Structure 1
Amino acid sequence: MDVEILNNLVETEAAVAVYFSAPHCGVCHALRPKVEELFSENFPAVKFIHVEIDKSPGISGELGVFSAPTLLVFFEGKEFLRKVRLMGIQELQEKIERPYKILF
């Protein structure tokens, strides 16, 4: 995936979540399935995208993501949430729930 494709998705989809990970990041790999499950079960209308920082440095640079894991959530083309490194599933759910219900 490149920057233009991602930017197009953010602009055209009502909601997009982008999860950034790094190849040798244990936390990234342990957290990713939990974050994906949160979105698929509780926020199914959000398009979930996984980006590996080492394979897509252009996207990381464009969005200012320099550490992993990082989660960016966009609603209607605007960045709503940015969580870097430490993120709890319950906390994510609470922060996303209200705007999600308003939008959908």
Structure 2
Amino acid sequence: MSDNGFQPITHEAELEQRIALHPALAVWFFSSKCEICSSLKPRLERFFTDSFPRMSLAEVACAALPQTAAAHSVFSVPTLIVYLEGRASLRATRHIPLATLGPRLQRSYDLLFS
């Protein structure tokens, strides 16, 4: 599911539909002017593809959709929110250490897809 990388969200309703549709969805909130966002995104895509292949990926450009970001309590970038069965299960902001992200997700992911 994550083989195509983060898929852009173009409006609030689309994000809500994806959260409802996908049992596991990682949403990347970013800014095109954020260097951390640019450097971390490809590493996150690889991380999810390799470690959580059934996780769907979506991205929200906060400058284009500020209401969507605010509706999900995103006030700084980058922010990653992982939704499992429609609920926000993990939230990470700014410096997102991949080494700790995996263990935090693994058990819930395994229960969901076993």
Q: Secondary structure at the match of 2:54?
A: coil
Structure 2 CA distance, aligned partners of 1:22 and 1:82? 17
Structure 1 CA distance, aligned partners of 2:63 and 2:22? 25
Normalised by the size of structure 2, how large is the TM-score? 0.87
Q: Determine the structure 2 residue equivalent to 1:36.
A: 45
Match of 1:3 among 5, 12, 18: 12
Structure 1 CA distance, aligned partners of 2:50 and 2:59? 17
Normalised by the size of structure 1, how large is the TM-score? 0.95
Equivalent AA in structure 2 for residue 89 of structure 1: L
Once the two structures are TM-superposed, the CA of residue 71 in structure 1 deviates from its matched residue by: 0.1
Unpaired segments ≥5 residues, structure 2: 1-9
* Percent identical: 31
The answer as to 2:92 corresponding to 1:80 is no
Q: Secondary structure at the match of 1:20?
A: strand
Once the two structures are TM-superposed, the CA of residue 58 in structure 1 deviates from its matched residue by: 2.2
CA contact (8 A) 1:11 1:77 kept: yes
Q: Determine the structure 2 residue equivalent to 1:52.
A: 61
RMSD of aligned Cα (Å): 0.9
Unpaired segments ≥5 residues, structure 1: none
Q: Determine the structure 1 residue equivalent to 2:30.
A: 21
Match of 2:103 among 89, 94, 98: 94
Once the two structures are TM-superposed, the CA of residue 29 in structure 1 deviates from its matched residue by: 0.5
**Structure 1 residue ranges, 4+ long, deviating more than 3 angstroms after superposition:** none
CA contact (8 A) 1:70 1:85 kept: yes
**In the comparison of the two structures, how many residue pairs are matched?**
104
